[in-house]
Every structure is written in C-alpha cells, then in structure tokens.
Amino acid sequence: MSEIINLASRIQKQLPAELVRFMQAAGEIADSQGQSLYLVGGVVRDLLLGRSNFDLDLVVEGDAINLAHRLAQNYPGEITTHPRFNTAKLRWDKWSVDLTTARSETYARPGALPSVKSGSLRNDLSRRDFTVNAMAIHLDPNHYGNLIDLYDGMPDLEHKLIRILHEKSFVDDATRIWRGLRYEQRLNFHLEESTLKLLKRDIPMLDTISSDRIRHELELVLKEEFPEKVLRRAEELGILQWLHPSLKSNGWLSDRFEQARQLSSPTLPPVGLYLTLLTYHLTEAEAEQLITKLRLSKSLAQTLRDTNIKARLQSLADPALPPSSIYHLLHGYSPVAITTNLLASDSSIVRQHIQLFLNKLRYVKPTLTGNDLQSIGISPGPRIKEILNRLHEARLDGQVTSKQGEEEMVKGWLAKGIVDR
C-alpha cells in the first residue's frame, strides 16, 4: 500500500480560514449522520499546485440535499437544490459551495448527457475527465486531510500531464477534448501521449455534442486568462477548424487579444470581444454558419453581423471626414462590434475616427428638447424632429456648444427662413 498523504496543513495555509472551518464542521456533521464527505476536483488539483481556487466542490456518500439543509442550520445562507441530480449549492456573501451526491453515470450514447444514479466516491471519481481532476480529500474527522488518488493524479501533476482515465473517455463525452486543451494550456502541462492520440482519433466525436454544449465550451475557453493559447493549440490539432474551417489562430489574433485585455477590466475577460476578433475574418456567409452551429443568442449573433462593417471602414479612412459623418457611419452598431474594428483596423485614421466615436460622439446630444422648441414658438409635429436633428449635427461638428448657442442658432434659422415655425 502506498503511503498516506495528508493535506490538512496545506488546506490550512491555502484556503481562507472561514472556508476551512466550514469544511471541518461539514465533515463532522456528515460523519455524525453516518455520511462521508470529500473535497474533490479542481480545488484539490489547485491545492496541490499551489494555485488559488476557492470553488469548493464537495461530494457526499449519502444525500447531498439532506446534508445541505443540515449545514444551512449552522451556516445560514442561500440554498439551491436540484433533486433530479441530488445536488445542492450553498451560497453566502463571499463564498459558495457545491455539494453533490456521489454518483455513477452511464452514457446511453456518445455525447448524450449521462444517466445518473447514486454511488460511492469510487464510482464518482471514475466518471471524471482527467487524472489530475479525479483526486479527493477526506473531510471526516478521523481521516481529515487524507488524499485519495485512485488514478495516479499525483504523479501526473508532478510530470505535468493531462491524462484521461480510460480509452473511451472522449467518446463518452467529447467536450473533454476542449477541456483537455484548456487545462493543458492554463497549467502549462502536456496532453499525455496516448491521451493525445485518442483525442486526435476522437475529434469527429465533437459532432455528437449539442450546439449549446459546444458554445458553452467555447465560452469557457474565452474566459481563460490567455484564450489565444488554447485556440492556437486547437488549430494545431484540427479542432478549431472543426468549429469552422475558416477560423485561424495566429499572431494577428494573439496581438488583438492582448489589446482587448488592455481595454477591459482585469477581472472580467472580454469574452464578446474575443469572439468577434476570432470571427473577424469570416465572410458574412461563414459568420452565419457559425452562428447557426453554435446557436448564438440573438444579441451575440447581431454583434457578429455588426462586426462586418469593412465597407464602412473605407469611408472612415478619409482624414477630412466631419464628426457628424463619422457618427452616421458608426451609429447603431453594437459597441463591441465597433471596438473590434478599432482593434482590427490597420489605418491610424480609421482608428482615430472610431476612438472619437466611442469616447465622445456617441454621447453627444442637443441640450434643447422638443418642449424647449415649442416654447420658442415652433409648432408641434415633424418640424420639431427636423430641428433637433439639425442641432444634433451642429453639436457633433462643434458649431454649437451651449444651450444658449442652440437657441440662437434656431432663432437664426427661423429668421433666415431655413426652417419654418
């Protein structure tokens, strides 16, 4: 028998004290009910790697919903349950914990969602994706902190290897192909040799996965710290082309992703912008194919379509273009689509014009309202709209900068007969 590895002190060091106290108490409460509780999955992997991860996944040999209600008595918070899978989520201000009932799964056909029944921790670990994700830690008081490593995840961690648990893994669930790439690139690991062989063999199994699940996988890729690394690897292995044959991940894309990050908040990955940059070079027809393949939401689909304003960019390259024309060329398109063109364009004039639009022109409005115009004596009706439009143009082009200026301008138009009352 191999030596027992105890991780209690690592848990103590790496996780917030509040969470540690919760886990210990949860282990005791479960134990008092004759149930065994374990910490599993990514948090165990990251604990061993020294990476911070506060997403606690707990597995109980017993009944997760029942235990969650019991824990909520001592740790009052919001509780959500899914009786069909017998899982529960406990949420407090700062933290949340997922509790699942240990289960075994069978796949009715490749790519289908599994059918689930309760089982042992052993069953539960055997359905997982990679050895480094299939480790668990005992939380019951008598074994607290002991590592359970049935699939040699530890040596794989040491050798930086992503390895599936059995030969049919990618056939059962081809989303693991994308997952494998994500972990490989995020952790700077390698897909283990036979895993890589099977992954390549099973790429066609991606066809068994529903649009919604594939889209979800792509979103997870784009939420990574450096999605371009995953996309490049996906291209190298022929997986990106499987999404659409015209997609490319090259130096151009990496540069733009880097710029996209600089434009956005450090805590929120610019997922939409990444997607439109990735699809930037697709033709309209190709973009439609991808929209269908991924069943993109209406608004995301519109953003992809809006990105295709290359023809308009040509007009934007005229250095003498007045601000009002810049406004009309770009107004009405989604800001993400416009920002994509800002990052993608090679012309510095185009970039300046887009920047002017995004920073300033899109917010410009006349100060006078329809009511103000009526009190100057303009009759209600279409004339009001026409004058407001003229004022808007004048504002955009800097011909007027104050409310008083606007009033004088309107009066001037009336006096000269440019507009009627």
Residues that bind ligand ATP (CB under 6 A): 41-42, 55, 57, 128-129, 133-134, 173, 175-176, 179
Using the minimum distance from each CB to ligand ATP, give the nearer residue, 42 or 119: 42
Name the strand (E) or helix (H) holding 301.
helix 298-307
Name the strand (E) or helix (H) holding 36.
strand 36-40
Name the minimum Å distance from CB 276 to ligand ATP: 24
Residue 59 interacts with, from ligand ATP, Mg ion, none (CB under 5-8 Å by kind): none
Name the minimum Å distance from CB 137 to ligand ATP: 13
Residue 176 interacts with, from ligand ATP, Mg ion, none (CB under 5-8 Å by kind): ligand ATP
Cβ-in-10-Å burial (0-12, 13-18, 19+) of 116 comes to middle
Name the minimum Å distance from CB 76 to ligand ATP: 25
Using the minimum distance from each CB to ligand ATP, give the nearer residue, 48 or 316: 48
Name the minimum Å distance from CB 128 to ligand ATP: 4
Residue 173 interacts with, from ligand ATP, Mg ion, none (CB under 5-8 Å by kind): ligand ATP
Using the minimum distance from each CB to ligand ATP, give the nearer residue, 41 or 269: 41
CA distance 219 to 1: 42
Name the minimum Å distance from CB 20 to ligand ATP: 18
Residue 133 interacts with, from ligand ATP, Mg ion, none (CB under 5-8 Å by kind): ligand ATP
CA distance 345 to 330: 14
Name the minimum Å distance from CB 104 to Mg ion: 21
Residue 192 interacts with, from ligand ATP, Mg ion, none (CB under 5-8 Å by kind): none
Residue 128 interacts with, from Mg ion, ligand ATP, none (CB under 5-8 Å by kind): ligand ATP
Residue 353 interacts with, from ligand ATP, Mg ion, none (CB under 5-8 Å by kind): none
Binding site for Mg ion (CB under 5 A): 42, 55
Using the minimum distance from each CB to Mg ion, give the nearer residue, 42 or 335: 42
Residue 406 interacts with, from ligand ATP, Mg ion, none (CB under 5-8 Å by kind): none
Residue 175 interacts with, from Mg ion, ligand ATP, none (CB under 5-8 Å by kind): ligand ATP
Using the minimum distance from each CB to ligand ATP, give the nearer residue, 31 or 46: 46
Q: Which residue is nearest to ligand ATP (CB)?
A: 42
Q: Which residues contact 29 (CB under 8 A, 6 or more apart)?
A: 67, 70, 71, 74
Name the minimum Å distance from CB 40 to ligand ATP: 7
* Spatial CA neighbour of 177 closest among 205, 151, 157, 155: 205
* Spatial CA neighbour of 127 closest among 103, 147, 148: 103
Q: Which residue is nearest to Mg ion (CB)?
A: 42
Secondary structure (DSSP) of 190-231 = EE-HHHHHHHHHTGGGGGGS-HHHHHHHHHHHHTSS-HHHHH
> What residue has token string 């890589």?
196
Name the minimum Å distance from CB 173 to ligand ATP: 5
* Spatial CA neighbour of 273 closest among 306, 235, 314: 306
State the virtual CA torsion across 169, 175, 176, 179 in degrees, nearest 10.
Answer: 180
Using the minimum distance from each CB to Mg ion, give the nearer residue, 230 or 361: 230
Cα distance between the two ends of the chain: 96
**How many other β-carbons are positioned within 10 Å of the β-carbon of residue 96?**
15
Using the minimum distance from each CB to ligand ATP, give the nearer residue, 31 or 152: 152
| Radius of gyration in angstroms for the set of CA atoms belonging to the chain, rounded to a whole number | 29
Residue 233 interacts with, from Mg ion, ligand ATP, none (CB under 5-8 Å by kind): none
Name the minimum Å distance from CB 317 to ligand ATP: 43
> What residue has token string 């899982």?
87
Using the minimum distance from each CB to Mg ion, give the nearer residue, 54 or 413: 54
Using the minimum distance from each CB to Mg ion, give the nearer residue, 224 or 406: 224
**How many other β-carbons are positioned within 10 Å of the β-carbon of residue 142?**
8
CA distance 308 to 264: 22
Q: Which two three-digit tokens encode residue 243?
A: 């999404």
Name the minimum Å distance from CB 77 to ligand ATP: 20
* Spatial CA neighbour of 195 closest among 229, 170, 158: 170
Using the minimum distance from each CB to Mg ion, give the nearer residue, 57 or 63: 57
